[in-house]
């Protein structure tokens, strides 16, 4: 119930900011409609396609775990987890959903954790590359120090943190401190606490083995596929932003709008508000005003709805479908075990 309340608060906060900005800057429904139904519909299709590509990348990443799942199930699970990420500060939390889903399909917890970390690290590094290139452009051609500095600072902090974890994992440095072991035993008791610590140590060993033998989890073709999916996600993000903010698609200007998307993303990922609510709109409006040379709150609001609320609705629906499927599978499994037990008794 507490989780549901937090998610509801996050969604309500995001909608609240959209309403407040619309009223404050005089954005009406007619202003949003003036962007064009075709443009808005095409953007919705592209944002859905981006979620699917993200799901395909997740499927390729987890193939090395030999999980019992097809492509469609992997895509559904990945999209579903996005609902939790979008409902929290810094877009975290979806990892727990994906980890639980992998474990339920036979993946070892330690190996699955390393794969989830690799997915996060891939996003962090790819975002950092785009942000650094974008910040360089802003400084050289527009002398935009504020946005460039904020984006570089946020991206560098995040990248440094995850790079340290990556290197520590490779060197097998991470472990359970003695003081934490004492706390676990004190809270859970000597016997139960000992079993928990043993389980953690076992999964840490599997995690380290996966970290030091990553090449065995991925084939050459699978690695190319993962990188290609990441590149497509970046291009789709820029294309969506260009369609909504720029009114048309121009391949030459695509890098500029891609910069706008990722600069907004990395600044709004700071743990200030849930889902970057309120921050995203301000950053994108700053970008359009100072870099693109115009200010249109109608386009900023439309962009926020397409890139946040539409994925939130899609992932929420996917999570409901996934939860229903899991519930049905559990009931079928329970019935199967019961019938098997009855046949055995006979």
Reading the block at residue 177, the tokens are 């401190």
Whether 338 shows a pLDDT value over 70: the answer reads no
Residues 6+ apart with CB under 8 A from 258: 130, 134, 234, 235, 237, 238, 241
- Output the CA torsion sign for 3, 274, 9, 45: negative
Q: How confident is the model at residue 202 (pLDDT cuts 50, 70, 90)?
A: confident
Query: Which has more pLDDT, 94 or 287?
Result: 287
Q: Which helix (H) or strand (E) holds 225?
A: helix 220-245
Whether 1 has a pLDDT exceeding 80, the answer reads no
Nearest-angstrom CA–CA distance, 324 and 94? 18
* pLDDT higher than 90, residue 194: no
> Quick one: which of 97, 104, 99 has its CA closest to 69?
104
Across the chain, mean pLDDT equals 83
8 Å CB contact between 67 and 106: yes
CA-based nearest residue to 298, from 289, 285, 280, 309: 285
pLDDT-based confidence at residue 70 (cuts at 50, 70, 90): confident
Averaged pLDDT for residues 292-320: 90
Place of tokens 């079993």: 195
As a whole number of angstroms, the distance between CA 48 and CA 307 comes to 10
Q: Say which residue the tokens 């895509």 belong to.
A: 75
Please choose, from the candidates 181, 179, 207, 180, the residue with its C-alpha nearest in 3D space to the C-alpha of residue 194. Answer: 181
For residue 156, pLDDT beyond 90: yes
Residue 190: Cβ within 10 Å count: 9
242 Cβ contact partners less than 8 Å away, ≥ 6 residues apart: 248, 249, 250, 253, 254, 257
Please give the pLDDT value at position 307: 92
In the chain the beta strands, taken as DSSP E runs, fall at none
Predicted local confidence at residue 239, as pLDDT: 94
Average pLDDT, stretch 120-133?
95
**Interatomic CA distance for residues 53 and 326, integer angstroms:** 23
Q: Is the pLDDT of residue 4 over 90?
A: no
Residue 158 in contact with residue 270, Cβ under 8 Å? Answer: no
Determine the Cα–Cα distance for residues 43 and 239; give it in Å rounded to an integer.
8
Q: CA-CA distance, 239 to 233, in Å (whole number)?
A: 10
* pLDDT of residue 336 exceeding 60: no
Q: Does residue 191 carry a pLDDT above 90?
A: no
- DSSP-derived 3-state class of residue 105: coil
């Amino acid at each position: 119930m507490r989780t549901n309340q937090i998610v509801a608060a996050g969604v309500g906060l995001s909608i609240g900011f959209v309403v407040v900005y619309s009223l404050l800057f005089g954005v009406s429904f007619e202003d949003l409609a003036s962007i064009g139904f075709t443009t808005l519909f095409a953007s919705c299709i592209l944002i859905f396609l981006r979620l699917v590509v993200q799901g395909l990348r997740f499927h390729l990443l987890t193939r090395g775990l030999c999980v019992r799942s097809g492509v469609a199930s992997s895509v559904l699970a990945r999209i579903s987890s996005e609902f939790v990420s979008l409902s929290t500060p810094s877009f975290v939390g979806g990892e727990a959903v994906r980890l639980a889903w992998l474990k339920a399909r036979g993946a070892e917890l330690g190996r699955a954790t390393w794969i989830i970390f690799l997915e996060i690290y891939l996003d962090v590094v790819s975002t950092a590359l785009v942000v650094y290139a974008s910040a360089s452009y802003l400084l050289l051609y527009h002398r935009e120090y504020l946005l460039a500095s904020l984006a570089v600072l946020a991206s560098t902090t995040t990248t440094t943190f995850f790079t340290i974890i990556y290197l520590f994992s490779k060197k097998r440095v991470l472990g359970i401190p003695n003081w934490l072991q004492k706390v676990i035993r004190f809270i859970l008791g000597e016997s139960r606490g000992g079993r928990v610590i043993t389980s953690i140590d076992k999964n840490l060993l599997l995690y380290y083995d996966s970290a030091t033998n990553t090449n065995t989890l991925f084939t050459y073709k699978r690695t190319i596929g993962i990188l290609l999916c990441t590149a497509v996600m970046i291009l789709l993000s820029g294309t969506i932003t260009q369609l909504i903010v720029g009114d048309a698609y121009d391949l030459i200007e695509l890098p500029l709008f891609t910069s706008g998307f990722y600069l907004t993303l990395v600044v709004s990922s700071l743990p200030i508000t849930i889902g970057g609510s309120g921050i995203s709109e301000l950053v994108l409006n700053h970008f359009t005003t100072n870099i693109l040379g115009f200010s249109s709150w109608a386009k900023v609001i439309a962009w926020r709805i397409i890139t946040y609320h539409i994925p939130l609705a899609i992932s929420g629906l996917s999570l409901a479908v996934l939860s229903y499927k899991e519930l049905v599978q559990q009931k079928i499994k329970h019935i199967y075990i019961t019938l098997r037990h009855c046949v055995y008794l006979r």
